[in-house]
Structure 1
Amino acid sequence: MVEPRSISERIVHKLSSNVHKRKQQNTSSNAPRPNPYVELESAYVAQICITWEALSWNYKSFERKRSSTQRISFNDIGCPAAIADQFRTFHILLQRYVENEPYENGRRPEIYARMRTLAPKLLLVPEYHDYEEEEEKEEEEEGFKSRITSAAFLMIMEECIRTFMNFLKADKEKPCQKIIKAFFGRTKRGSVDPTLVHLMKKVNTKKKTKLKEIRKGGKYMKKKKMSIEEEMEILMGLIDLKVVSRVLRMNEMNEEKLHWCEEKMSKVKIIQDGKAFQRDSTPLFFPPH
């Protein structure tokens, strides 16, 4: 069997299961071969969407739980140290990826696929949950029971979110890719109208600009020091829009993905003539196809 030449083909070749290989061997040689890079990109984009929804949900969920508990009893709910360690691991893997990527060859989906084989937990967000009574007893018996404060756990998750934003910022199109797209455009069958994609990109850019103005205080707004909660809310809104912009850059776009982008952007609303915004943190799952 001939070894694939391109980076994308080699990665897909290695990651494919034996069953998938047999199916490929049995297909007619005249059948059109799927673009391996498109497969990698689809898997990568779906993963960053899932990662962000999970990270956002964990943060907002814990934040709400902490606030409601403090209103009732003024007690700090804290977080099991073992759960906090899982989020630290998530952060370390993500930070390591951001630092190492400039020394890797290939495009982001290709690099991500290679790195994922070395670090299977890359971009896999842990789930926050407090210990049940049985788990607490087991921890006590084994001598491992420990907790950290809510504030400390929130700081860990905030670092995860900031690093995820850096991860998204580093995912840029190379100049040669932009030229190729400009010349050839979207020629794939089943793609959506490029005008709609372009329009959605413009709306997305405008919203990002407005959010950045709100963060800076705006041209005609009185400058005031923001709380950590306000800063994080703006950052999370910017990440929402950043994820959408990455989806809109995909080589293959369909109606389902375009609808997802539209719905995701609608969850970030600019209000009060651009002086404030509202963010709906309800998870919105990326379409499977």
Structure 2
Amino acid sequence: MVYLHRVGAQKLTETESFRSIKYQPRSMSDRIVHKLTPKPSAPIGLRDPYPDLERAYVAQVCLTWEALNWNYTSFRRHNGGDGNIAARCCPARVAQEFQQFQVLLHRFIENELYEYGRRPEVYARMKNSTPKLLLVPEFREEEDEKDDLISAVQFLLILEESIRTFMNFLRADKRSHYEMFREMVKRRSSAVQQTLVITLKKANKKKKSQLKDLTRPRRCLKRTKLREEEELSILLGLIDLKVVARVLRMPEVTDQQLHWCEEKMNRVRVDQEGRMQRDPSPLFYPAH
């Protein structure tokens, strides 16, 4: 993650420099001033560094989700298996770290509306001033005698709220008009890859609809209100699909990344009885 932070910071600087070179004022008076003002000349064959910045951002999002998912799965495995979670305790210090994780995400979502640039640019800029942004704490069962303790139930609620906050972070990352236009005119490296991307997007949309359908009330005696644990399980599946959808939004996706998207979606399915089946084991995202 430190490597991705460094790449993001470097590509942010290059992106802003590239924009300053390509910048063209709208008004006639500003254009005249712009023409007369000395500015660095663009090197021949200069490549827009923004796609690299976006790749670093998407990789960070995927790694953050894998870490958050692993923490939740690990906690449930160690504390929920015997049904005696109410009698267990967790270090309060770790809980505070997860609360800080939530606060930073909330602050980013609120401030993004007032920031200039696309999501990867805004993220890289805020990451420079807030290094712990999207940095998931590690749940540890070891208890220091000096640490304050909270109940495992309270810790679970904090962990679940962190997951919901991360979903809000993903939802706020909406496609811009620039991305929509780029998607229409941009062609993939091959027709086969283009077909695969379209197929994966359709499959992603279909599975997302199936999972959302599980949460909707129906006029059926068999459909009962979902328990909180079941609702959260569906939310985990929706986040899996949301992360995959964000990868597929990139203008350039490698074959390894497409394979990752396909494998990630295959781990989420709805069986014939209308129940979601999800494999929570980590699947690390290939950054290249």
TM-score normalised by the shorter chain: which range applies? 0.7 to 0.9
Distance 2:247 2:261 in 1: 7
The runs of at least 4 aligned residues of structure 1 exceeding 6 Å deviation read none
2-side partners of 1:288 and 1:9: how far apart?
16
Q: Percent identity, aligned pairs only? A: 48
Q: Distance in 1 between matches of 2:49 and 2:220?
A: 50
Query: Any residues of structure 2 matched to 1:54-203 within 5 Å, and which?
Result: 54-70=67-83, 76-131=87-142, 135-136=144-145, 139=146, 145-182=147-184, 184-187=185-188, 189=189, 193-203=193-203
Cα 1:35–1:126 change in 2 (3 A) is same
- Pair 70,224 (structure 1): closer, same or farther in 2 beyond 3 Å: closer
Corresponding residue for residue 222 of structure 1? 222
Distance 2:49 2:61 in 1: 19
> Where does structure 1 lack aligned partners over 5 or more consecutive residues?
1-7, 16-28, 140-144
Letter in 2 for 1:168: L
Q: Output the CA distance in 1 between the equivalents of 2:127 and 2:191.
A: 29
Q: How far apart in 2 are the matches of 1:55 and 1:110?
A: 23
Is the 1:69–1:77 contact (alpha carbons within 8 Å) kept by the matching residues of 2?
no
Distance (whole Å) between structure 1 residues aligned to residue 243 and residue 68 of structure 2 = 13
Q: Which SS does the other structure have where 2:113 is aligned?
A: helix
Relative to 1, partners in 2 of residues 1:110 and 1:14: Cα closer, same or farther, differing over 3 Å? closer
Does 1:48 pair with 2:61? yes
How far off its partner does 1:175 sit?
A: 2.3
Residues 116, 224 of structure 1: CA spacing in aligned structure 2 closer, same or farther, 3 A cutoff?
A: same
8 Å Cα contact 1:94/1:167 also seen in 2? yes
Partner AA of 1:85 in structure 2: Q
1:167-225 Cα offsets, whole Å, 9 max, x none, are 1011111123212321x2225x5796211101110000000000000111457673322
- Partners in 2 of 1:203 and 1:35 — Cα distance? 31
Q: CA deviation at 1:67?
A: 1.8
One-letter amino acid matched to 2:171:
K
Distance 1:10 1:49 in 2: 19
How far residue 162 of structure 1 moved from its aligned partner, in angstroms, is 0.5
Alpha-carbon displacement from aligned partner over 1:129-176 (angstroms, at most 9, x marks no partner): 0225xx33xx2xxxxx31111111011011111111111011111123
Report the secondary structure of 1:269's partner residue. Answer: strand
* TM norm structure 2: 0.82
Structure 1 length normalisation: TM-score?
Answer: 0.81
Partner Cα distance (2:190, 2:221) in 1: 46
Letter in 2 for 1:11: L
Q: Does 1:255 align with 2:255?
A: yes
| Residue identity matched to 1:197 | V
2:285 partner SS: coil
- CA–CA separation in structure 1 for the residues paired with 2:170 and 2:220: 30
Residues matched between the structures, number: 255
Could you say what secondary structure the match of 1:216 adopts? Answer: coil
Q: Residues 75 and 239 from structure 1, CA distance in 2 versus in 1: closer, same or farther, beyond 3 angstroms?
A: closer
Q: Which residue of 2 aligns with 1:22?
A: none
